[in-house]
Every structure is written in structure tokens, then in C-alpha cells.
Chain A
């Protein structure tokens, strides 16, 4: 915690970690008006930074077009993906970007209330965030008649999660906000129509909202210059694992994994897990792939493994995580994950047939398409990609491995 306090804004990056002055984003937003905000956002090509990559402008437009006496902005700060810690940096060091993003969103869609859903483990930030909100209220950037605009009232309150990974899924998050079991809802209908308390609700990731003030100030076209055609702008990457310089980096989309490994000074790398536990695991032969929605997509988590790591143990760790964190609602996820974990245990004990494992890979594919939410849809990714990409290590050249990385 001491460490967090001493962090000052020494970071630099093309978008989020660039210069910014408090209140500028809101001023600009009020100046250009709702429609132009939506046009700028559309031009920027900004997509959801939580991992799913839904176009932000579309989400805002849909809820702006919804008819309802109440609308809500929810900032998803339930940063729970293993290996992700970029939102923590934003909330601690750049809270103005996050909150101004929420206020602009509220202005755009016509919401009066914003809710920051803060991960339970981030409770220690609560005081500093509340203090910051108080400052915003004092500066008339939050509350009634924002910046003298009599038709614009918006306030933000902070709610704490209770430690369930699945509550990072937007509809489970809304259930949790309403005080119920954190279980994902059926979609459709989507939160933009039927969200918090049944009202239109925009749920955006911390980083998505933090990007908005910069986009408004410098323009959608400017934002688009960074990154690739399908993945515009820059991205925060939380890099951890076997490298000399772990941490949060802002890099343009389209950076290759090899480039990233160089920046973080990773040596002797065997594998990179892109996208956390729910992502995919890439071997050295695929380090030329680029980070972006069109190739190796990620909500920001990059975990580096060097040659000393046992990939089967890595996989087992991920699967144990999903078995524990599945909400238990739908069949493929509740039972499927435990079957995949059982398979890993059988590989460890060398008690399996390849037919059995192929069956389970097929099961994994079913889980990817038939689970109710993103958790179950992505939990087999690690299983499928690690068994495929590291089969020589796990099974040995002759298919008789003992699970300890030895043939």
C-alpha cells in the first residue's frame, strides 16, 4: 500500500497516459453537445476495453435512444481477470479520466446517476475515490447544474463488490448491484434496454470510460491514428510473470507479442498467456502475432512464462480458478469446468486415453458456444490452447508424457 501512495504520474503513453487537465473533457462535451459526442466516439472506433470489444459508440447510441425516465451509467471496476491490474492504476492515478468519462456518458445518454462498481479487494481505494468525488462536486463538475448547465445533473456513487469473479460480467454485476446472487442474465434483452432496476444502463470498463475525455479533446480521427484498422487507439497492458520489468504499459494496438516481450525485458520465454485465465496461451512460434481484437484479443492481461514453467501446472491453476468462480447457474460451465479439471488430473497421473481427451476438447468447444455468459464461453480457451500448443511438453514426443514436462 505504501508503494501505491508513492506512485506519481511518471507514466507516459500516447492516449491515456498523456497530459490532461481536470475538467477539460466535460467542458468540451458540453460545448459540442450530445450528437457530436456520439459522432466523435463513432469516428474513434473505440471498442470496449474489458475484453469483449463491443463498439462503445453503438452501446451509447442504443441507450441514448431508449425511452425511459431513468437511465444509469455503470463503471465496471470489478477488475478480476487474473493478471490484470491496469484499472487499479487508472483509479489510483487517473481518477479524473474515469469519472469524467462517466459524467460525459451520463450527459450523452441522459442518465442522472452513475455507479462505480469497485472490486471488493480494492476497498482500500474507497476513501481516496470518495475524496476525489467530493473535489469534483466542489468544482461543480459533479452534482446539480454541472458547470452552470441547468439541465445537467449527475452524481456518482461507489459500490463495493464482494469478491466474485463472475460479477465482472455486466449482467451479473447488475444483479449484484440490485442485491441478488451474482448470476448473469439472459441476453437479449441487453442492459442498454433492460439494465439496472430494469432501466437502460450503459456498463463500461474503467479504461473505456477513461479514453473518452481524450477522444473528445483531440478528436476521433486522432484516436484512430493509433492502433490498427480494427483495433483503434492504444491499450493498457498489465504485464506480469517471468520478465524483468513487469507493470502497466500503454501501447498502441497492433504491437506484436515479440515487441512487447522486448519492452518488458522477458528472457527465455516459453509461453505468453494473452487475456488472463480466460484468454489463450501462445507458444514461441506464435510470438509474431499482434495484440488486437482481430488477432490476439485481451482485456489487458499478459502473463509471461519462461522455460522453467510446467505448462500443465499452469493450465491446472487456471482450471481450478474457473471451477471455483463459475456461478454454477448453467450446465456447461458448472459441470464442464470440473470435467476439464478432472482431465488435467488424469493427465498428471498418466491415466488417460487420447480419445478421452479429444472428447473433452469437443466438450470445451460446446462450452464455448453453449454457456450462458462469457465466463463459461472462455474458460475452455486455456484448456484447448495449452493442450494443443504444448502437446509435446505435456504428452512427450511419443504421446507418453507423465505430466512433468518430461517425455
Chain B
């Protein structure tokens, strides 16, 4: 729907793909090629790699990633093309004429082996002391090509200092193979532009502006680079040792909240195919590991809907009834900490558009060390709060200095799905075989609305279910509560619902066409922000932005690998799980209504909820001193 403007992207980092003809039956629509003496017909412009994949011919790759544009730099995928003097990279070569390709000649095999040997000669460290052991693309290549020695040597000393300045992402350039997937992810895929190659020749390395530590540049902590790194050069900042310590300490009451997205993906860490949630199994596993209570982040997702929804209705009232010019609309969601840091850096003048509601993770933290501590009769100082998240940026978020509203650090540790899986394995548990169990009180099992927060458009869908019903007294006019326009993976989605026959309290919204926009991935967020800047969103009321592609299910803390297909399956798992739940609207979650009756007695956006559940933002800007 919206055309992307890729002005900042170097042409070398754009996909040099040839547009495939729309009508393949036309003359010139397809081309016949010979691969390993087998004749096949492919659409004009198909790359050799694609043609081989379609015909069950395996071509090794390293710098190639289905989410990213073509680089052609690792050279592992070289093949022979008849009449060409040199070998050609299968990933980058568009088939435009009836060529003859050979994928496994002596020259090809030797070249690939040489390239792998060269990469290994510079790759510091040993596989058994590496967190990507058994999930490393370089290791797989070495195995595929039977590497049993280092003919060109093996680096014995670290060349680079490990950058662990960031709360979210750790960079160890000693393991980098310069495939530049992270560079392409950061510049082209997310359009943040923190990472780029520095220097040339043997001194080339991926670095930040002036090689500053990651914590001092405009990194938004989305962790998408981690998901696409083929080796262990990039990883999340892992707090699991400290969590074990807390679990082992009998004085500490360790509680964990789990978000829906890691539950829909953690099975992949145990060899399961993507597309199945392990919520109940995980609850049991976490208790066996030693967590004292297991809570569902969806509870605070429901709470977020109440708070953010109320905030939106308040803004609308101020704008429509009080004609208050200072009210900023559309209201933007604030659940995604990567997005929050993105807007703080890139659009600091637009922070007033952001909802002040905290993310579900942080709301939960604040409630655990106040409401829950009181209910359970515990000293908040003894409570350790852990959050299982699909996210790298959540680690940064829980360490923000403003997140101490309970009087303590609201959330002590953010844990990724990968790190959780490691802890489960360490405890000798095989997750898929666990019996299922429910979440603990006083937060219980949440609504389906909270669950779908995990996929792009989910917050919007959940908010609409509640807002529409509050305003009109009727359910949203969509079959089975499925608001189709919110679903799917289009970069920027736009839709509207008309508010008619409103209840007395919301008569001022009578006849209003409630317009909303959903974007995922910061490249799409940029498009939306530019629309806002140009005044193209003046008639829009609510915008959902998630920093990661596909929303949280594609988060930077999810299992590796990732691809559009895997993300689609994870989203499907969430939607399927949702359809089976008895309660599917946030305002019908009785645990939430209970909380407002017993604790947050002045209601959504009231004084106490403002203290505990809302926050403020920092104008960071993008200029680095």
C-alpha cells in the first residue's frame, strides 16, 4: 500500500533482483536452463539459488538470508556457469538466458572448501565453548564439507574486545565472518543504521559510529541482528546465571511472567516444528525449575488495553468535545521497547503522541512488587521478578532508571526464549513432554485479547474489541471477534470502524469513523512517522507499531533461525490458541476487574495507575556526542 523510500540504502545493499514477469505464459516469461544436466524451466529473473531450491539441489549459503537483500560476499554458494571464466554466486545470479549450470564440479567443491577453511582460519574460539554450538551455520558448513583440520591455520588470539556495554545485545567480533547480515538487517531491513563495515582489507570489521560501544550509539536493541547472525558474533545479554542464583537462594521469592510469543516459539528450541504453543507445558517446566509463581503477561496485556484504551478515549474527548488543540492524535502504542527507543532517537519531537502506558512487562513488574507483595504477604525486597520475553529490548527496558515505580527495580531480569530453553535443558527437562498446568493466582489465565498481542496488529485488535464495546455497548462487528484488517503481514495496514448508536457516556463519538494504522518493523514505522510528519495521519486515531517484523513473534529474543514463513507459523499458533479461549476481551478478564476493585480503586488512568502503570520518555535524538 505504501511505497518504501530507500534513499539511505547503498545500492550495494539493495536487492539487485530482476522483476519477474507477471504473465509467465508470454514469450520470454520463462527460460529453460540446465542444472547438472537436468533441464528445467523457471521464470525469467529467478536466481540460480532459487532454481536449485525448487529442484531439490542443495547449495550451501552463508551470507544469504531469506529476509535480506542479496550480498554475494561470502562466496560459499559459487557454481559453474558454462562459458563464464569465473565461478558465479548462485544467490545473486539472475537467470536471463538459457545457461548451463553445474553445482558440484571439482572446481566448485574445492572453492567452497577453501572459502570455509579461510573463514575458519579467522574465526576465533572453539565450538564446544560457544552458545551457538549445534545451531551455527559456519559449523554446519564445516561439517557439510568434512573439515577435519585447519589448512590455513586457526586464529589463536582475540583481535577485538567483546562489546558488552549494552544491556541487550553483546557483540563479539572475534566470531564474525563478515557476512554482513547484521549490517543489512540494521541498515536495510530495520532502517536504523547502527552497524556498517569499517576499514578495508584484512582490517575490515563491522562496527558502530566511530567504533563506539553499542550502548552509546542509536541502537534500539531490537536484536534482529542476533536472529540473523549465522555465528555467535551477536547474542543477547544473558542473565540466567543470576536467575539461577536467585532460585537457589531460599530467601528469595522468584516469580516469572511469560509472554505469549516465546511460548509460541520455544518448542523450536526443542526440535519441534514452528507453529505450536507450549504454554501449559512451560508452566509445569518453570515450576519444576524452581520458580515460585508463574504468571501470564497477558494479564497486564489486558490491563494495557484498559489503560491505553482509556487514555485514547480521554484524548478523543479532549479533542472532540473540549476542542483542546494541544491533544496529540493519533495515539501510538508503547508496548514495544524497541519502537520506544526508535522514536526517542529518530523522532524525539513526537514523543507526546506515544501512549504513556507502560509495556505489559513493566506493568506486571510494578504490580508484583506492590499489589502481589501485599496480597501474598511478602517483603518486595525479597521478590525477584523475571520476564520471559521474545525480545532483546526488554532487557534494556527493565534497566531504564525510570522503571522503579514500586520502590524497587520493577522487573529484575528480562529473559529471551533462547535463554529460557537453555535453563530448561540445564534442569534436565524436555519441554514437549511436560504435562500442562495453569497460571497462578491472583492473576490467573488471561483473555485471548492479551494473547494476540504477540502478532502484529494484535494490540490493535484487542483494543478495538474493548473500545468498540465500551463505546457502543455491542461487540465489534466482525465474525467471531476476528478483526481481519488487523491481521496479516503487510508492512503498513490501514482500516477503520464506524462508531454508531453510542452509549450515553460516549455520545460525542457518534458517527465517528475510528481509523487505525498498524505497522511492524522499524522500516515501516519510519514510513508511518513520515506520514505523520507530512500531516497524512491527521484523521487517524490510533497507531500500533512493533519494532520487530511480524510483531513480537519475530522478536530479537526468539529462537534462531527466523524467516517470514516461520513467523507466519508462530502467529498462526497464537491465533489458533486464542480461538479456543473462553474469554477473548480484555474488559471481561475478571482478574483485571478485580484489580481495579481491590487495588487500583480510582480506575484506569487514575492516580495510582498513573504512578505504577504509566511512564515518561526521553528525548534522545540521533546525534552522538
Q: Do A and B bind each other?
A: yes
Contact B201 A339 (CB under 8 A): no
Within the complex, which residue of B85, B115, B178, B203 is in contact with A332, where a contact is CB–CB below 8 Å?
A: B115
Known: A178-B10, A372-B72. A339 touches B118 (CB 8 A): yes
Within the complex, which residue of B70, B75, B177, B197 is in contact with A370, where a contact is CB–CB below 8 Å?
A: B75
**Which chain A positions have C-beta within 8 A of B78?**
369-370
Give A377 to B85 CA distance when docked, in angstroms. 11
Contact A369 B107 (CB under 8 A): yes
For residue B52, CB closer than 8 A to chain A, the reply is no
Contact A359 B151 (CB under 8 A): yes
Contact A370 B86 (CB under 8 A): yes
Rounded to whole Å, the gap between the CB of A381 and the closest CB of chain B is: 14
Q: Mark A303-334, 1 if CB is under 8 A from B, else 0.
A: 00000000000000000000111111111101
Give A174 to B16 CA distance when docked, in angstroms. 15
List 6 A-B pairs, Cβ < 8 Å.
A178-B10, A323-B202, A324-B201, A329-B197, A369-B87, A370-B115
Within 8 A of B (CB), among A328-359: 328-332, 334-339, 342, 359
- Stretch of B92-100, B167-175, B282-290, B307-315 that contacts chain A: B92-100
Contact B11 A363 (CB under 8 A): no
**Which chain A positions have C-beta within 8 A of B110?**
362, 366
Q: Mark A359-388, 1 if CB is under 8 A from B, else 0.
A: 100110010111110000100000000000
Within the complex, which residue of B11, B115, B118, B153 is in contact with A175, where a contact is CB–CB below 8 Å?
A: B11
Known: A325-B201, A328-B204. A335 touches B16 (CB 8 A): no
Closest residue of chain A to B92 (Cβ to Cβ) is A186
Contact B11 A178 (CB under 8 A): yes
Within the complex, which residue of A180, A330, A339 is in contact with B152, where a contact is CB–CB below 8 Å?
A: A339
Q: Mark B155-198, 1 if CB is under 8 A from A, else 0.
A: 00000000000000000000001100000000000000000110
For residue B74, CB closer than 8 A to chain A, the reply is yes
Within 8 A of A (CB), among B87-119: 87, 89, 92-94, 96, 107, 110-111, 114-115, 118-119
**Which chain B positions have C-beta within 8 A of A326?**
200-202
Contact B10 A328 (CB under 8 A): no
**Which chain A positions have C-beta within 8 A of B96?**
188
Give A32 to B76 CA distance when docked, in angstroms. 49
For residue A59, CB closer than 8 A to chain B, the reply is no
Contact B74 A331 (CB under 8 A): yes
For residue B566, CB closer than 8 A to chain A, the reply is no
Rounded to whole Å, the gap between the CB of B10 and the closest CB of chain A is: 4
Rounded to whole Å, the gap between the CB of B116 and the closest CB of chain A is: 9
Interface of A is mostly: helix
Contact B118 A336 (CB under 8 A): yes
**Which chain A positions have C-beta within 8 A of B92?**
186
Within the complex, which residue of B94, B111, B197 is in contact with A366, where a contact is CB–CB below 8 Å?
A: B111
Q: Mark A131-163, 1 if CB is under 8 A from B, else 0.
A: 000000000000000000000000000000000
Contact A331 B152 (CB under 8 A): no
**Which chain A positions have C-beta within 8 A of B75?**
330-332, 370-372
Give A352 to B541 CA distance when docked, in angstroms. 73
Within the complex, which residue of B89, B177, B200 is in contact with A327, where a contact is CB–CB below 8 Å?
A: B200
**Highest count of chain B CB atoms <10 Å: which of A323, A335, A337, A359:** A335
Known: A188-B96, A366-B110. A335 touches B118 (CB 8 A): yes
Contact B94 A330 (CB under 8 A): no
Contact B73 A329 (CB under 8 A): yes
Interface of B is mostly: loop
Within the complex, which residue of A180, A189, A328 is in contact with B202, where a contact is CB–CB below 8 Å?
A: A328
Give A178 to B152 CA distance when docked, in angstroms. 37
Within the complex, which residue of A175, A180, A197, A331 is in contact with B73, where a contact is CB–CB below 8 Å?
A: A331
Q: Mark B108-137, 1 if CB is under 8 A from A, else 0.
A: 001100110011011000000000000000
For residue B199, CB closer than 8 A to chain A, the reply is yes
Give A331 to B141 CA distance when docked, in angstroms. 15
**Which chain A positions have C-beta within 8 A of B480?**
none
Rounded to whole Å, the gap between the CB of B447 and the closest CB of chain A is: 49
Beyond the given A181-B10, A339-B121, please list 17 additional residue pairs across the A-B interface where CB-CB is below 8 A: A175-B11, A175-B12, A180-B10, A180-B12, A186-B16, A189-B16, A325-B201, A326-B200, A328-B178, A328-B204, A329-B197, A331-B118, A332-B118, A336-B118, A370-B87, A370-B115, A377-B86
**Which chain A positions have C-beta within 8 A of B115?**
331-332, 366, 370
For residue A14, CB closer than 8 A to chain B, the reply is no
Give A325 to B204 CA distance when docked, in angstroms. 11
Within the complex, which residue of B16, B151, B152, B200 is in contact with A325, where a contact is CB–CB below 8 Å?
A: B200
**Which chain B positions have C-beta within 8 A of A337?**
201-202
For residue B18, CB closer than 8 A to chain A, the reply is yes
Q: How large is the interface on B (under 10, 10 to 19, 20 to 34, 35 or more residues)?
A: 35 or more
For residue A250, CB closer than 8 A to chain B, the reply is no
Rounded to whole Å, the gap between the CB of B206 and the closest CB of chain A is: 11
Contact B197 A181 (CB under 8 A): yes
Known: A330-B74, A369-B86. A335 touches B119 (CB 8 A): yes
Within the complex, which residue of B76, B121, B200 is in contact with A164, where a contact is CB–CB below 8 Å?
A: B200
Give A372 to B74 CA distance when docked, in angstroms. 9
**Which chain B positions have C-beta within 8 A of A368?**
86
**Which chain A positions have C-beta within 8 A of B74?**
330-331
Give A323 to B75 CA distance when docked, in angstroms. 18
Give A185 to B76 CA distance when docked, in angstroms. 17
**Which chain B positions have C-beta within 8 A of A330?**
72-75
Contact B114 A328 (CB under 8 A): no
Listed from nearest, the 4 A-B pairs whose CB atoms lie closest are: A328-B204, A180-B10, A186-B92, A335-B118
Rounded to whole Å, the gap between the CB of B21 and the closest CB of chain A is: 16
For residue A198, CB closer than 8 A to chain B, the reply is yes
**Which chain B positions have C-beta within 8 A of A96?**
none
Give A251 to B389 CA distance when docked, in angstroms. 72
**Which chain A positions have C-beta within 8 A of B118?**
331-332, 335-336, 339, 363
For residue A183, CB closer than 8 A to chain B, the reply is yes
Rounded to whole Å, the gap between the CB of A216 and the closest CB of chain B is: 31
Closest residue of chain B to A360 (Cβ to Cβ) is B152
**Which chain A positions have C-beta within 8 A of B87?**
369-370
Closest residue of chain A to B205 (Cβ to Cβ) is A328
**Which chain B positions have C-beta within 8 A of A58?**
none
Contact A332 B12 (CB under 8 A): no
Give A366 to B76 CA distance when docked, in angstroms. 12
Give A198 to B110 CA distance when docked, in angstroms. 35
Give A330 to B92 CA distance when docked, in angstroms. 13
**Which chain B positions have C-beta within 8 A of A181?**
10, 12, 196-197
For residue A255, CB closer than 8 A to chain B, the reply is no
For residue A66, CB closer than 8 A to chain B, the reply is no
**Which chain B positions have C-beta within 8 A of A174?**
11
Contact A186 B89 (CB under 8 A): yes
**Which chain A positions have C-beta within 8 A of B196?**
181
For residue A389, CB closer than 8 A to chain B, the reply is no
Closest residue of chain B to A327 (Cβ to Cβ) is B200
Give A366 to B203 CA distance when docked, in angstroms. 22
Give A372 to B86 CA distance when docked, in angstroms. 9
Contact A334 B10 (CB under 8 A): no
Closest residue of chain B to A355 (Cβ to Cβ) is B151
Contact B114 A332 (CB under 8 A): yes
Rounded to whole Å, the gap between the CB of A328 and the closest CB of chain B is: 3
Closest residue of chain B to A338 (Cβ to Cβ) is B202
Rounded to whole Å, the gap between the CB of B183 and the closest CB of chain A is: 10
Give A204 to B243 CA distance when docked, in angstroms. 63
Give A178 to B75 CA distance when docked, in angstroms. 25
For residue A194, CB closer than 8 A to chain B, the reply is yes
Give A186 to B96 CA distance when docked, in angstroms. 15
Rounded to whole Å, the gap between the CB of A72 and the closest CB of chain B is: 14
**Which chain A positions have C-beta within 8 A of B197?**
181, 328-329
Give A302 to B87 CA distance when docked, in angstroms. 29
Q: Mark A202-224, 1 if CB is under 8 A from B, else 0.
A: 00000000000000000000000
Contact A328 B111 (CB under 8 A): no
Closest residue of chain A to B116 (Cβ to Cβ) is A331
Closest residue of chain A to B202 (Cβ to Cβ) is A338
